[in-house]
Structure 1
Amino acid sequence: MKNKLIMASALLLSCAIAVAQEVAYEEYTLDNGLHVILHQDNTAPIVTTSVMYHVGAKDEDPERTGFAHFFEHLLFEGTKNVEKGKWMEIVSSNGGSNNANTTDDRTYYYEVFPSNNLQLGLWLESERMLHPIIEQSGVDTQNEVVKEEKRLRVDNSPYGRFIENIKIHLFKKHPYKGTTIGKMAHLDAATLEEFMAFNKKFYVPNNAVLVVAGDFEVGTAKKMINDYFADIPRGEDIIRNFPKEDPITEQINAKAYDPNIQIPATMIAYRTPGFKDREALVLDMISTYLSDGPSSKLYKKMVDEQKQALQVGALPFTQEDYGMYIVFALPVGETGLAELTAEMEEEIAKVRTDLISENDFQKIQNKLENRFVNSNSSVEGIASSLARYYMLYGDTSLINKEIDAYRSITREEIKEVANKYLKPNQRVVLEYLPEEKPTN
């Protein structure tokens, strides 16, 4: 009876969350191909304007890597009507904040303003799309900014190159084998004409989605959007035809060295489906089961009980075309990396061969419910989700429906997907080691 009451309570909670978190929106497309999504929420006097461009590191010339991330910085330099170096000043002086980020698949820009500055947010993004000034002085300035970011986040950061070293072994053909930040030598060698051509190709209305979320009047917003964006010329259609990867059929053993660490790590990585595939959701659940928090299987076993690992975790690194599933551990004392790898494989093998318990299954569902609530708890988060679901998944309605897909996954499906993708002969095992010091 107690279990039935718990399950009934969980069901009621899920239903309540689903109703409370329903995100209302309207979407349409301008004649130039710019897709527009509006989410009105008048509970707080703030508004987010954002633009996501369908361009990331995978779209770059392999001899000119780093362009997409570079443009994340470059398109804050200035425009025909925004003086060079004044973008941030304009935003902050009007009570706003702004930022941008880049992945292998997309680039996202956004501003958050008091709601009476919606027009300013839309004007700024239309300026970025229509009137960017791409000149050598700006390229030189941002080249130094990117180099410093790379030194800080990659070159001098402990474990900063582990993703890079995983990718080069998981991907041999697809451009995911590169890094988002790219190679500095490629940026140094690039001409101004190459930067201008990249902008002309990708930063166009038919390769973008504009989202307005927050406190605004819909009719007024639509008129502003039409005034600022409708006359921006459409770009040429972008055709993507990336090479497919061959299956991994034998374990790949590799080593990498990092001068910024003292404690080594072992990493097991698998190539997985892109995030539009239902199986990517299942792998996300497996990651939650194995390593999300102190109560997860790997943490309880290897950190708490057996005292073998200083840290253990799993990363479902999902992308548009393929994903990566990475499990890692850092040893304690004299524990060897091979021993940690064997212990992690033992827990992964259990997911391949046995059904997880009903109790553990419910814990996963509860965590996913909580993550869903948090992702839609602010207009800024909602704007990002709306842009992502439209641009990368091709289905804006997933902002309300994806949680139902998670709920529909069964314990049997978890076992089936683990057995399909998480086999020893389909993985990379990377020893991530402190850089060897030369001996005198």
Structure 2
Amino acid sequence: MTKSAFVALIALLTATHLVSQEVTFEEYDLSNGLHVILHNDDTAPLVTTSVMYHVGGKDRTEGRTGFAHFFEHLLFEGSKNIERGKWFEIVSSNGGQNNANTTQDRTYYYEVFPSNNLELGLWLESERMLHPVIDQIGVDTQQEVVKEEKRLSYDNRPYGQLIIEVGKSLFKKHPYKDPNIGYMKDLDAATLNDVVAYNAKYYVPNNAVLVVAGNIDIPQTKKWVKAYFGDIPRGEAVTRNYPKEDPITQESRIQTYDPNIQIPAYVIAYRTPGFRERDAYVLDMISTYLSDGQSSKLYKKMVDDQKQAVQVGAFNVGQEDYGMYLVYALPVGETTGETLIAEMEEEIAKVRTELITERDHQKLLNKFENSFVNSNSSVAGIANSLARNYLLYGDTDLINKEIEIYRSISREEIQEVADKYFKPNQRVIIDYLPKEAQAN
């Protein structure tokens, strides 16, 4: 067999494998605006019930930051029919697991149960949406929970403030300038009326998507969905009109200090487009090219060969309205920040001005093929993807066709996008320093 024939055979087998991974689903709307997505998978006796609300850290007014993250905790307090503090007990005693998470753009709640407990999962999420108990006791309790989380994950964690400082430096008008977890003074100042109003505005069926994925009977599931969610009142339409950022046209540099670190970090940050834009997919590929694995350009050069950095990386922080692109390094020994910044810029400049090799391009495509397959390897992962693709991207079927976007990205497009966003006059440099350096 010739080399070209062998390559063609491998491509055919890969394409056949990916087609076999296609996720089938059915979607429809209830009369109250709740979007429903059902996916049947009978390979394991499990089911995931999940609700994603289109509300995140950016959805707030000035002086009331962090509400979406706060609600991630608050809506586990209990409901009209669930005694306070019993939510997790109900789930675990019925063989299930549950959790929630919040970003700047959405909040996601989910349960994984044995499939014979599907109705229980639907009831729990309908209770959360229909009549959660929101009172002063719950507000006071969860304020303390959030404060402790902030202390552990941000205030007292090495480099815990880094991403927050990047947001502050890249955004001056848009709510992305403030951390997803919010400022504790804002939560302390919040009244019960503030909290109740926030719930009524955002945690409504027409601002959410329900996904049921796993070993399910579709007709029966539809009956339960209608029974548990059909009578929940529609809320007012949520409108968003966040201020636009002015373009960054001049490099700026800031210094910030962290008492929890001994090794500084040097960051080059750029403001990038929201994750629905095609350019955002290209930026994902660039970050993989620069820093994914020990053979990546930044790691091999600065860690392995030149031994200038103990750690180096590049990643694209995808968000709905704007993204953030970070390249960072932590020095070895006496290596200066200026040296690290110059070395990182050298690799970024190569992507701006030169085509990556055909071999590196093929490696990138292979990595994204593998990532695509792995993302659909579990029912819980499928449920998350279905919810996200519908709610944030407006296209549920991205779960099957997103890989085609990556496949279509050429070497020329990678260079073009790098040159578009990574010019030196469009960047912010952050010196993230140990606290003791502030006194010197």
TM, length-normalised to structure 1? 0.98
Q: Within 1, Cα distance between the matches of 2:267 and 2:5?
A: 41
Deviation at 1:335, TM superposition (A): 0.6
Give 1:377's aligned amino acid: S
Contact 2:95 2:113 in 1 (8 A): yes
Residue by residue over 1:272-313, the C-alpha shift from the partner in whole angstroms, topping out at 9 and shown as x without a partner, is 010100000000000000000101000000000001010000
Q: Within 2, Cα distance between the matches of 1:340 and 1:153?
A: 27
Partner of 2:277: 277
Q: Within 2, Cα distance between the matches of 1:130 and 1:18?
A: 40
Q: Within 1, Cα distance between the matches of 2:13 and 2:412?
A: 24
Residue by residue over 1:105-152, the C-alpha shift from the partner in whole angstroms, topping out at 9 and shown as x without a partner, is 000000000000000000000000001000000111111110010000
1:223 lines up with 2:231 in the alignment: no
Residue by residue over 1:374-429, the C-alpha shift from the partner in whole angstroms, topping out at 9 and shown as x without a partner, is 11100000000000000000000101010001000100000000000011110111
Provide structure 2 residue ranges, at least 5 long, that are not aligned to the other structure.
none
Partner of 1:109: 109
Give 2:198's aligned amino acid: F
More moved, 2-11 vs 265-274: 2-11
Which secondary structure does the structure 1 equivalent of 2:436 belong to?
coil
Q: How does 1:25-424 map to 2 (within 5 A)?
A: 25-424=25-424
Structure 1 pair 332/92, CA: closer, same or farther in 2 (3 Å)? same
Give 2:68's aligned amino acid: A
TM, length-normalised to structure 2? 0.98
Which secondary structure does the structure 2 equivalent of 1:415 belong to?
helix
Give 1:254's aligned amino acid: I
Residue by residue over 1:51-76, the C-alpha shift from the partner in whole angstroms, topping out at 9 and shown as x without a partner, is 00000011111210010000000000
Q: Within 2, Cα distance between the matches of 1:354 and 1:2?
A: 32
Deviation at 1:7, TM superposition (A): 3.9
Q: Within 1, Cα distance between the matches of 2:7 and 2:338?
A: 41
Q: Within 1, Cα distance between the matches of 2:79 and 2:266?
A: 47
RMSD: 1.3
Structure 1 pair 48/424, CA: closer, same or farther in 2 (3 Å)? same
Which secondary structure does the structure 2 equivalent of 1:57 belong to?
coil
Deviation at 1:12, TM superposition (A): 2.2
More moved, 72-81 vs 361-370: 361-370
Give 1:433's aligned amino acid: L
Q: Within 1, Cα distance between the matches of 2:164 and 2:7?
A: 43
Q: Within 2, Cα distance between the matches of 1:438 and 1:312?
A: 24
Residue by residue over 1:221-248, the C-alpha shift from the partner in whole angstroms, topping out at 9 and shown as x without a partner, is 0000000000000000011111111110
Structure 1 pair 258/225, CA: closer, same or farther in 2 (3 Å)? same
Q: Within 2, Cα distance between the matches of 1:281 and 1:13?
A: 25
Deviation at 1:4, TM superposition (A): 3.0
Q: Within 2, Cα distance between the matches of 1:390 and 1:378?
A: 18
Q: Within 1, Cα distance between the matches of 2:301 and 2:362?
A: 20
Structure 1 pair 3/189, CA: closer, same or farther in 2 (3 Å)? farther
Provide structure 1 residue ranges, at least 5 long, that are not aligned to the other structure.
none
Structure 1 pair 181/250, CA: closer, same or farther in 2 (3 Å)? same
1:21 lines up with 2:21 in the alignment: yes
Which secondary structure does the structure 2 equivalent of 1:330 belong to?
strand
Q: Within 2, Cα distance between the matches of 1:136 and 1:313?
A: 44
Deviation at 1:370, TM superposition (A): 1.1
Which secondary structure does the structure 1 equivalent of 2:79 belong to?
coil
Structure 1 pair 425/439, CA: closer, same or farther in 2 (3 Å)? closer
Deviation at 1:252, TM superposition (A): 1.2
Q: Within 2, Cα distance between the matches of 1:140 and 1:373?
A: 44
What is the aligned-residue identity percentage?
70
Deviation at 1:6, TM superposition (A): 6.1
Q: Within 1, Cα distance between the matches of 2:275 and 2:424?
A: 22
Partner of 1:426: 426
Residue by residue over 1:30-49, the C-alpha shift from the partner in whole angstroms, topping out at 9 and shown as x without a partner, is 00000000000011000000
Q: Within 2, Cα distance between the matches of 1:68 and 1:364?
A: 36
Give 2:434's aligned amino acid: P
Deviation at 1:262, TM superposition (A): 0.2
Structure 1 pair 34/63, CA: closer, same or farther in 2 (3 Å)? same
Contact 2:263 2:434 in 1 (8 A): yes
Q: Within 2, Cα distance between the matches of 1:216 and 1:172?
A: 47
Give 1:104's aligned amino acid: Q
Which secondary structure does the structure 2 equivalent of 1:380 belong to?
helix
Give 1:83's aligned amino acid: E
More moved, 23-32 vs 13-22: 13-22
Give 2:265's aligned amino acid: A
Q: Within 2, Cα distance between the matches of 1:379 and 1:341?
A: 42
Which secondary structure does the structure 1 equivalent of 2:428 belong to?
strand
Q: Within 1, Cα distance between the matches of 2:35 and 2:51?
A: 10
Deviation at 1:202, TM superposition (A): 0.2
Contact 2:257 2:438 in 1 (8 A): no
Give 1:339's aligned amino acid: T
Give the 4+ runs in structure 1 shifted more than 6 A: 437-440
Structure 1 pair 403/413, CA: closer, same or farther in 2 (3 Å)? same
